[in-house]
Amino acid sequence: MKTETAEPTTVGEMLLEEFLKPMGMSSRELADLMKITDKRIEDILMDYKKINKREGLLLAKIFQTDNDFWTRLQRAYFKWLRG
């Protein structure tokens, strides 16, 4: 029997709910800090696009998390999707 596990948090959800909203930071401000387009950050927040290694490192620097926090979060979500 396979045990069902809860859906892991996505990068977009974590960014929005645990970082941007509490800090009062807009997606545009984050895009500017990361030197990426507003469209790119919106795609990440909506979980339309995966982050790359560079973006993961930038997020870690901006939000003072472990260097691999964001890519690990992303891997966990996509592993869960594959079942």
Amino acid 5: pLDDT: 82
Kindly indicate the confidence band of residue 2, based on its pLDDT and cuts at 50, 70 and 90: low
Tell me the torsion sign for CA atoms 73, 76, 77, 78.
positive
Kindly indicate the confidence band of residue 1, based on its pLDDT and cuts at 50, 70 and 90: low
Q: Is 44 exposed, middle or buried (0-12, 13-18, 19+ CB in 10 A)?
A: buried
Yes or no: say if 70 and 60 are a contact pair by the CB < 8 Å rule: yes
Q: Is the pTM of this model over 0.85?
A: yes
Longest dimension (CA), the chain: 48
Over residues 51-71, the mean pLDDT reads 98
> Can you list the domains of the chain with their CATH numbers?
11-82 (1.10.260.40)
